[in-house]
Chains A and B, each alone.
Chain A
Amino acid sequence: MKFPEYPTVTCYTPKGFDATKLPNYNKRHHYKYDWSLHTLLLKHLRSSSKFDEPVSLSGKVLQELFGSVYYPMIIKSLMDGKVITRFNYRAGEHAFKYKINPHILKEGIQAKQIDKVTIRRKIHLFRDKDIQRNLKDAISKHEFQNLTFIDIDVEDAIKFINSKYKEGTPKHTHRILSVYEVSRMKDTQTAEGIIKMDWMFKVDRSGRWHTPIAHLAKDLRPFLKTIDGKRFVELDGACSQLTFCHKYLLEHVSGKVSNSNIIGEGGTPTESDNEYEPQWGLDGPKPMGRGSLPSYDVRIDLMWRNAIFNGNAYQLLMDGMQWKKSRDEFKEYFFKNLFFNKYRPKLTKMEEAFKHYFPHEFQRLRKTKKRIGNKELAVAVQRYESRFWHKWIGSSMREKFKLINYATIHDSILLPEENVNEVMVEVTRQAIRFFNPYDSDEPLIPTFRVKTFEAVSDRGTELNRPQK
């Protein structure tokens, strides 16, 4: 039977391992021995005791890959060949752990390409199941397809990495690997409804897409290009997290965001304020048609709202707190000590300062953290953000800019430089809709910026730098 071409799969095995020397070696199973050992090796590396203690093996996954008949045969061969040892860790049950024997690991580890089509096919089909689950709708499919139209200047990127990072350091290694991973994206193939690919694709529970592009180090973005050679620029929202968080807090702590645009701005919160529930009048809830006035009071810190939508909120706080270090250091401090830190009765310095300047936003933030926890708040805000970029903007890209290549990086979008202006108009239009679900005389308008990758023009200079 002839299978369609599947990209090569890389696996890692100990250099001292030679499958052909195993007792009962079967040539047909050659790559199954390698893949079993590769799986076990990764398990060892991820365990706290590294190679000292036995680890459990995902038998189900391997059985699905190799077939339930062959899986025990492969494991038995590896055990009989003294490559691995099996331990029974739960008496009376077939619960086993395995350990790679130390003598096999003495010579180190090597990367191997799996050429056998049947194994490659099985591995790809297995990965495909997970991908298909996340690519059910036409918008996601369109965005995924666009990822496969992206390429990278491998040679220039590698030269840049070698000139800037010391070989063998984690920064060097990870960058080299990610360049190769991006370069494999364009080799993605689809046939008979199956996606054949050898690169990471995962959607987390907040809806963010984790792809080689999203994980590519920033200093390598200048080397990205479309498959027809166009360079990218990045379009992102200023104070993006703050705007999405503002919307989330208003919708989940104070009722509907639309109402906050109409009334009740200003004032000082009191201890008796219960901002979880709308402050209904004596007559109870009233119908909330368009333009009708709500009967409860949502208090907004106007200065904060203007600052986040104008994109100068961090600067405002930095000035207020007389921050001496860099802007990025401030943002990190801000997120760690105000937005995504745990709820604790005692306020951090950052919380004290924020409460002083913006008491209403602070109260909403604090109450939300107390109610759902800081972890869930981070996920909830990112869910808004990914909904906007992957669904709203994704839909626009599919309907209005079908031929423009793009990639979303969590809270921004990469676009060819020549197309960025027309897309920016649409992104702003959609953002106004997103942040103003009801008509308003003074709609909230987020600020978007285009970032060019300066290193492109500096690449020559960067490449000439002496190795550190």
Chain B
Amino acid sequence: MSKQTTNSNGVTCIIDSDGIHCSYYVGDDITFRKTFKNLTDKEISRLSVDDML
């Protein structure tokens, strides 16, 4: 089972049993990706390019 969500900063998170897989499309074919283990709803909604560096 997995659930996908995109916040207002354009960070997309796919939540599954392994964690929260986040991606942020920068442009010019470059996507920053990071997997987080634990994030609250509020933290997910606030993720931005800063957290993806």
Partners in one complex: yes
> Do the beta carbons of B53 and A177 come within 8 Å of each other?
no
Q: Which residue of A lies closest to B24 (CB)?
A: A378
> Do the beta carbons of A382 and B1 come within 8 Å of each other?
no
Binds B, one of A42-50, A185-193, A357-365, A418-426: A42-50
Interface of B is mostly: mixed
> Do the beta carbons of A204 and B10 come within 8 Å of each other?
yes
> Do the beta carbons of A210 and B14 come within 8 Å of each other?
no
A335 at the B interface (CB under 8 A): yes
Contact flag A382-B41 (CB < 8 Å), given A45-B3, A208-B10, A375-B48: no
> Do the beta carbons of B39 and A215 come within 8 Å of each other?
no
Contact flag A111-B1 (CB < 8 Å), given A45-B15, A240-B28, A411-B27: yes
> Do the beta carbons of A202 and B6 come within 8 Å of each other?
yes
Contact flag A173-B12 (CB < 8 Å), given A332-B30, A335-B30, A340-B26: no
Q: Which residue of A lies closest to B53 (CB)?
A: A336
> A47 CA to B3 CA in the complex, in Å?
13
| Given pairs A202-B6, A210-B10, A379-B9, 17 additional interface contacts (CB within 8 A) | A47-B40, A48-B39, A109-B1, A204-B8, A205-B9, A206-B9, A241-B27, A328-B30, A331-B29, A331-B30, A332-B30, A335-B26, A375-B48, A378-B26, A382-B10, A410-B27, A411-B28
A residues at B contact (CB < 8 Å): 12, 42-43, 45-49, 109, 111, 170, 173-174, 177, 200, 202, 204-206, 208, 210, 214-215, 239-242, 244, 314, 328, 331-332, 335-336, 340-342, 374-375, 378-379, 381-382, 385, 410-411
Can you identify 17 A-B contacts, CB atoms within 8 angstroms? A45-B1, A109-B1, A200-B4, A204-B6, A204-B8, A205-B8, A215-B12, A241-B28, A332-B30, A335-B26, A340-B53, A342-B50, A374-B50, A375-B9, A378-B48, A411-B27, A411-B28
